[in-house]
Amino acid sequence: MRKTFVLFLTLLVTLAGKLKADEGMWLLPLIEKLNIEKMQQMGLKLSAEDIYSVNQASLKDAVVIFGRGCTGELISDKGLILTNHHCGYGQIQALSTVENNHLENGFWALSLQEEIPAPGLTVTFLKRMEDVTARVVEGLNDQMSFDQRQEHIRKVSAEIASEAKGDTHYQTFVRDYFAGNQFFLVVYEVFNDVRFVGAPPSSIGKFGYDTDNWMWPRHTGDFSLFRVYAGKDGKPAAYSPENVPYKPAHHLPVSLKGFEKDDFAMTIGFPGSTDRYLTSWGIDERMNIFNYSLIKVRGIKQDIWSEAMAASDKVRLQYASKFASSSNYWKNSIGMNRGLEALDVPAKKKEIEKEFDAWLKADQARNKKYGNVLSSLEAAYTGRKETYLASNFLRECLIRGTEALSFATIARELEEALKAKDKDEIAKATETLRMAGASFFKDYSAPTDRKVMAAMLKTYANEISPVWHPSLYQTINKNFKGNYEAYAGNLFTKSFFVNEDAFNAFLAKPNLKKLQADPAFIAGNSVREVSLKLADANRDADKKIADANRLFIVGLMEMQPDRVFYPDANFTMRLSYGTVGDYEPRDAVIYKHFTTLKGVMEKEVPNNFEFIVPNKLKELYKAGDYGRYAAADGNLYVNYTTNNDITGGNSGSPVINGNGELVGLAFDGNWEAMSGDIAFEPDLQKCINVDIRYVLFIIDKYAGALNLIEEMTLVE
């Protein structure tokens, strides 16, 4: 193992001077060695220390994890955070009511006192990253089993994280990179008092909705504003009226200068997950099992949701965030499969594997070290097809698809407390359920979920072998003659987990016999039992795939010394760099690199909620009242494209020019390159961004929230 580690680091250093493309999601502590020279040649005026430093304020101090899956940036010295509208969407929905619908109407706090607390929302700052690979791998050897290796890594990683935390309030983790070949300590500071400051109406912030999602040309003002608060000592604190706006170590100056084609652009953010080193067998599984199950099931569920949302303002608000989240990855999966096929990625991966196999056989030592890698991967992927398919359909149909069943399973702690007759534990579990119920029922429509349940039960039965059917199917077949609608109707009539009043009445007098007789609780537990069995059935293959991937990546680096390697995304801070530019998606078609407000007007469809244009925006357009936010050509730019390498989690990432100034925020990728999480395509891959001047125009001219403009550092 020690030899493998030394080889791995040697290969990284060797590659440092051989960058050929703008592909890559780079670790900030390594950009001095790996990237800075190329970036400066492209137009960057900053040093590596200006971007990442633990000794002085740097760009990293202005970029945060927003919530649990997005990126945001500080744009004032008073803790003002800019992120995407779709990143704030769930919070905005949670703070909305039918009578006071911030999603539909927008919201703007004209003073600090008007800002709305957002319970549960967090903002996380990266304090530092440190390569701890040498310490983690010390003591590992190639004779260890997978479990022994993982236990050693877990133990040493926990020690490192504990030492780094000490008596501080920081959160510390050790994350692995290159499939477990490299390890970094990551130190975070998490703030819990975050407040909603402003957002345009969805007719601007989500203009184009699902039709335009992942598409270019785009005309969406995808932004929202929040503010992070701290205690008077500047440290994280629970919400209190006494808290004050947080003063960051650095905030991004906001540029009004715009951009030109070929201008340097970089993003800093928290990309979630990529699989750039996935083998052909992994791609087959991704396309034909993971993506297939998601596409099939969510398409059915979303049709039911859409019908219910169209019929009720209340349901439309309740399911707005759920639908947006579901649809986003549903469409992404469709586009990914299409892109992987169109770009012939599986065949390209097979060619790499063929080359790898020939390279192994040409050298006895290499063959001894890596000779079982490809055969292990093939056997593991092909051997788990049935159970992996069942696991994915169970998740999509009966765990995430049918809300009532998942909600019911959270009562298992109460069940155990009632069995033990432990009054304290009963009270604790009851209170936990009461809080969960308040959140659940706020955004729940039982009639809608009843229709979804019947459809999901039928879909799972049609796709998955009876061997993996939960026991609830025995009830359906025996008592309801296989009629899924009748079963769902009976469950929704008798279960207290689908009715808020009945649920709270049960919690007032919790009873073990009543809980265990509830049909949703029974069904939910039967789903959980099968889920655990499937996890056990897939576990051995999971281990073999993880172990073989680790060796495959080291072997690839040894085989391809001139190739640019970087770790897959894992939701830790990364930097990507590129340029502003257009692209040619197909023969005879060239897409310009920017869109304007004129395009918004051209897309208007007054009777289609996806393409409604607010009257005030139309008035500003007709008057040409763009103020200082117009481009040099007199137009108001809305969106633009760069070739930065991003993925999910990068949503809300700042787009920064060569001077370290904010010129936009990333919010989407393009349809033609949906395969990008697996294979970066430099001629097609585009990052779709909101022009910061459009953001400022909406805040200023549309909303009149000059108080927000005044606290920013504008560069003209």
Residues annotated as catalytic (active site), given as ranges:
86, 222, 651
Q: Centre a 10 Å sphere on the Cβ of residue 571 and count the other Cβ atoms it contains.
A: 17
d(CA 228, CA 230): 7
Q: At what angle do helices 292-311 and 320-342 cross, to 10 degrees?
A: 140
Evaluate whether 221 touches 85 at the Cβ level (below 8 Å).
yes
d(CA 213, CA 298): 16
d(CA 290, CA 295): 9
The partner residues of 691 in beta bridges, in order of sequence, read 664
The partner residues of 228 in beta bridges, in order of sequence, read 194
Question: What is the H or E stretch that residue 177 is in?
Answer: strand 171-177
Per the structure block, which two tokens stand in for 89?
């969407």
For 703, the 3-state DSSP assignment is coil
d(CA 491, CA 700): 52
DSSP assignment string, 426-440 = HHHHHHHHHHHHHHH
Residues making up the chain, counted from first to last: 716
d(CA 639, CA 660): 20
Question: What is the H or E stretch that residue 481 is in?
Answer: none
Question: What is the H or E stretch that residue 267 is in?
Answer: strand 264-269
What are the Cα distances from residue 257, in Å, to 154, 263, 538, 629, 664? 49, 12, 54, 9, 11
CA angle at 222 for the pair 221 and 223, rounded to the nearest 5°: 100
For 338, the 3-state DSSP assignment is helix
Q: Closest by alpha carbon to 272, among 500, 87, 462?
A: 87
Q: What residues contact 146, with CB distance under 8 A and at least 6 apart?
A: 543, 544, 546, 547
For 678, the 3-state DSSP assignment is coil
Q: Centre a 10 Å sphere on the Cβ of residue 704 and count the other Cβ atoms it contains.
A: 12
What are the Cα distances from residue 28, in Å, to 50, 61, 271, 565? 11, 12, 13, 15
- Strands 244-245 and 171-177 come out as unpaired
Buried b (16+ CB within 10 A) or exposed e, 112-151: eeebebbeebbbbbbbbbebbbeebbeebeeeeeeeebee
Question: What is the H or E stretch that residue 640 is in?
Answer: strand 637-642
Helix, strand and coil content of the chain, in percent to the nearest 5, comes to 55, 15, 30
Per the structure block, which two tokens stand in for 174?
């050790």
Residue 653 gets which letter from DSSP?
A: P
Per the structure block, which two tokens stand in for 88?
């704030």
Peptide bond into 253 cis (omega under 30): no
The partner residues of 267 in beta bridges, in order of sequence, read 576, 655
- Amino acid 73 reads E
Reading phi first (left if > 0) and then psi (alpha if -120 to 50, else beta), residue 440 is in alpha
